[in-house]
Amino acid sequence: MQRSTNRILTTHVGSLIRPKHLVDDYLLPLQRGDHIDEAGFQRELKRTVNDVVKRQAKAGVDVVSDGEFGKAYSWSQYVLTRLDGFEKRTVNIKAGEKDPFEKGADRQRFREFYDELDGKERARRSVDVVCTSPIKYTGQAEVQRDIEDFKQALAKSDVTEGFLPVAAPASVIPDRRNEYYKTDEELVYAIADAMRVEYKAIIDAGLLVQIDDARAAVTYDRMVPPGTMKDFRKWLKLYMDALNYAIKGLPEEKIRYHVCWGSWPGPHTTDVPWKDIADMVLGINCGAYVLEMANPRHEHEWNDWKTIKLPKGRVLIPGVISHATNIVEHPELVKERIVRVANLVGRENVIAGTDCGFAQAPTAKRVHESIQWAKLEALAEGAALASKELWKKKPAKKAAKKAVKKAAKKSAKKATKKAVKKATKQVVKKASKKVAKKKARR
């Protein structure tokens, strides 16, 4: 993993807005289970991945992704086509009951707002995903296709490095149900075993792997109340342990771990504070932590890094651009966000990023595509300004003052040596005279 050795590098969380024709002609039909022209899809996917990598480089992004263009489903549901052991069933929600997806303290407090948001963004969930047999990874062909398309695009672009985003065990098929394994713990570790195949394939191909885990933090809002912080941390520990198990033995420097508080544009008044999960997140054995730090609910938490220590050898990728607002951040603000964190954890340990993906699924985007690119350009401009601030040359006056001080110190040291030498000579001379007088008396 490249570091910010002489300037602040830039990156983002990975998911970018898909081209409309790719969505309409291929990704939506795949979701519906319709027949598609497979050869045409492969050609178009290769072309659009190549284009999106070039566009990232043009915007000034150093560490780029494939935009997650090859995933027909969302950032977490895409594994439905890559794992055996799950089946879809028509959801059966009785009258008066709530969709499990709609649970949460924030949703209860702002029910009217969420009713409006849900009406605009999505239809009521219609499918349950149930584990009914042993979980096994079967997506080798798909992940290899993504790897090859991405590597070909990287070879044609002037970028620093490339990463592919994938789901963490806690975030694989959220709200899944278990009818096969005896315990949830057995289910979790079965998922970890299966997903390791994907993580390893990406690393073995020479790419960085980014493990996305929005569900890790978001579950607090669903669990507390009626549960307690203790209950939540017990749940979270299970999944953190499972993730460390899944990546055990893989090179840490090739792994990025992304945690956010969910991408939806809601109030987020009941998010778990960063300081309450920092120890667990920083306990993941990875090379970099990709954290949401620009949204108004969590931006103040940069102060927590005054007491929280970044583990030695690790990189912090703070979100300095929000995915959830159409307002394009001013480069000066981006600079400010970068500099204040870099001053706490070390400039070489910071890569500037975004809070979350600009699109969570083929049809779920948070801003207009033109705004997405404007935001990434502002990210690059702000990082350049931060680099000047963090690597600025010392003013001539200050340098001259330091040189004078150094020369004076050297001169004083030299004068002191001379004085000591003279004093020693006088003492020796005086002692010699005394000896000579004694001899004369004899």
User: What are the pLDDT digits (tens) for 23-75?
Assistant: 999 999 998 889 999 999 999 999 999 999 999 999 999 999 999 999 998 99
Tell whether 305 and 418 lie within a shared domain: no
- Claim to verify: residue 350 and residue 417 sit in the same structural domain: no
Residues 243 and 322 in one domain: yes
Question: What is the C-alpha separation between 205 and 251, in angstroms, rounded?
Answer: 13
Instruction: In whole angstroms, give the CA distance from residue 311 to residue 345.
Output: 10
- Residue 111 within a domain: no
Please indicate, yes or no, if residue 208 is contained in any of the structural domains.
yes
Total domains in the fold of the chain? 2
- Whether 340 and 407 share a structural domain: no
How far separated are the first and last CA of the chain, in Å rounded? 85
Tokens of 243: 């993730």
CATH number at residue 316: 3.20.20.210
Nearest 10 degrees: Cα torsion 405, 410, 411, 417: 150
Q: How far apart are CA 158 and CA 171, in angstroms?
A: 32
The per-residue pLDDT for 143 is 97
Give domain status of residue 113, yes or no.
no
For residue 4, tell me if it sits in a domain. Answer: no
Q: Per DSSP, what are the bridge partners of residue 167?
A: 212
Which of 370, 390, 410 lies at the terminal end of a domain, its last residue?
390
- Mark whether 324 and 437 lie in a shared domain: no
Q: What is the pLDDT of residues 114-173, one digit of tens each?
A: 888 887 655 455 678 999 999 999 999 999 999 999 999 999 999 999 999 999 999 999
Query: How many Å apart are CA 330 and CA 386, to the nearest integer?
Result: 13
Determine the pLDDT at residue 416. Answer: 62
Whole-angstrom Cα distance, residue 194 to residue 79? 10
Helix/strand/coil for 130:
strand
- In angstroms, the CA 405 to CA 72 distance is 66
Could you tell me if residue 100 is inside a domain?
A: no
Instruction: Look at residue 97 and tell me if it is in a domain.
Output: no
Residues 180 and 133 sit within 8 Å (Cβ to Cβ): yes
Task: Work out the pLDDT band at 402, boundaries 50, 70, 90.
Answer: low
Q: For residue 314, what pLDDT band results from cuts at 50, 70 and 90?
A: very high
225 upstream amide cis, omega within 30 of 0: yes
What is the rounded distance in angstroms from the CA atom of residue 50 to the CA atom of residue 46?
6
Same domain, 351 and 266: yes
Whether residue 162 sits in one domain with residue 228: yes
Residues 382 and 419 in one domain: no
**Residue 392, pLDDT above cutoff 70:** yes
Give the Cα separation of 380 and 64 in Å (integer). 13
Residues 174, 304 share a domain? yes
pLDDT at 123: 47
Does 95 score more than 60 pLDDT?
no
Q: Are 348 and 439 found together in one domain?
A: no
pLDDT of amino acid 411: 64
- Which residues are registered as beta bridge partners of 353? 319
φ, ψ of residue 131 to 5 degrees: the values are -80, 120
What integer pLDDT is reported at residue 240 of this predicted model? 97
Q: What DSSP string runs through 40-80?
A: HHHHHHHHHHHHHHHHHHHHT-SEE--TTTT-SS-TTTGGG
Last residue of a domain, one of 390, 410, 428: 390
Range of the domain at 295: 9-82+136-390
Q: What is d(CA 188, CA 167) in angstroms, rounded to the nearest whole number? A: 13
Whole-model pTM?
A: 0.86
Domain boundary among 390, 411, 428: 390
Are both 354 and 406 inside the same structural domain? no
45 vs 39: CA distance, rounded Å: 10
Q: What residues does 195 pair with on adjacent strands? A: none
1, 208 contact by CB (below 8 A): yes
In a domain, 152, yes or no: yes
- How confident is the model at residue 285, as a pLDDT? 98
pLDDT value for 93? 59
- Per-residue confidence band for 92, with pLDDT thresholds at 50, 70 and 90: low
One domain, residues 271 and 361: yes
Average the pLDDT over 371-397 and give the result: 90
Rounded to an integer, what distance in angstroms lies between the CA atom of residue 277 and that of residue 101? 23
